[in-house]
Amino acid sequence: MLHAVQPGDGGVARVVTDLVRAQLATGLRVAVACPPGTELAAAVRDEGADAYDWRAGREPGPGLFHETRDLARLIRAVRPALVHAHSAKAGLCARLALRGRIPTVYQPHAWSFEAVEGTTAALARRWERAAARWTARVVCVSEAERRTGEAAGVRAPWSVIHNGVDTARFTPAPGTVPFPAPAGEPAGPAGSHGPVVVCVGRLCRQKGQDVLLAAWPEVVARVPGARLVLVGDGPDAERLRAAAGDAVTFAGAVPDTAPWYRAADVVVLPSRWEGMALAPLEAMASGRPVVVGDVDGARESLPPGHEELCLVPPGDPAALAAALGRLLARPELRHSLGREAREHVLSRFDVRRTGAAVAELYRELAGVRCTEHREPIAQ
């Protein structure tokens, strides 16, 4: 089977890499078409999958014809039993190339029409409604994402398969963890700083780091000595750096986010839109409390009872500052929320559960046979 993917980095890349690893372990022949030189291209080759260079940009534009043609050529060369297209651009090109000739699974990872406004959003909704006829199954990562699609008029067969994380990789750390540092700088000694808030995500409008920076002066006023770390890179990096103060560290893109979660006192992701964000799940698996924007997937990802403390309206710096200030001022509350978060992820969001659900979907649509999957046991 073939995964068609654009973008080749961030949360989508991690989701696809986890799926590829699980599928190879079951004996499937797995191929991935994605932009060359990306995090995803390297990761799937390391896993042993066939990786094909597909030069596609994030946005539709003049290159769409060539991108669709090139993907169609790859599909003919690979001859998959099923194509799984991830995110809007791959979903656009794959469905134009195939038009339902072989089973096509489309996974939006958040709807494209939420990222734009006006005429562009209307055109995106119109395309998603039209393309449903060439889609064997739309996979949403949350019930909320499915409801958003239905409200936009997308009429397609649905499956809701929650994102999962590797609970063996993302684990709590005993005791106080040294404050990591960007490449080339020494890590700060444990306990050498005030409480640390970490935000992991692409530096872009979707993830809401601008809202977080607007809220941060009020957080520091409530909790003097608090530190903020933005982990990731993206198109808004320069603008965000210009708006940040001395209490903000830009770690850039890092090969492993796990140490940053372990060093955090609170992990925050004030997104404007999502399907179900991966970073809060990784943080909770690491035993850390989270504060997240109340967007698609957020409520479903949180443990019962955490909504009042951990959810904030998207785009609201005052509400975000108040939520962060409350948690930073109460260490015992942070610790109890972190323990509950870890248990919640173990029981509901283990990546093995996600892999098993996707494998069952492939069997249903294309008769793709895998070895037996067993439900993970919470530890």
Which residues does residue 266 pair with via DSSP β-bridges, in sequence order? 197
CA atoms within 13 A on the CB side of 116: 14
Question: Cis omega (within 30 of 0) on the bond before 7?
Answer: yes
Q: State how far the Cα of 359 lies from the Cα of 19, in Å rounded to an integer.
A: 9
CATH number of the domain at 196-348, please? 3.40.50.2000
160 φ/ψ angles, rounded to the nearest 5 degrees: -105, 115
Q: Tell me, what's the pLDDT at 368?
A: 65
- pLDDT (0 to 100) of residue 60: 82
189/253 Cα distance (integer angstroms)? 22
Q: Looking at domain 2-164+350-366, what is its CATH homologous superfamily?
A: Glycogen Phosphorylase B; (3.40.50.2000)
Per-residue pLDDT, 366: 87
Report pTM: 0.90
Series of mean pLDDT values for 10-residue runs along the chain (379 residues): 95 95 92 96 95 92 93 97 97 97 96 93 96 97 97 96 96 74 51 83 96 97 95 96 88 94 97 96 98 97 96 98 97 96 97 94 82 42
Structure tokens at 95: 């469905």
Tell me, yes or no, if the two domains 2-164+350-366 and 196-348 fold the same way: yes
What local confidence, expressed as pLDDT, does residue 182 receive?
Answer: 58
Domain boundaries, the chain: 2-164+350-366, 196-348
Burial level of 20, CB count in 10 A (0-12/13-18/19+)? buried
Angstrom distances, CA of residue 97 to CA of 43, 90, 320:
26, 10, 43
Length of the chain: 379
Q: Which residues are paired to 2 by β-bridges?
A: 31, 83
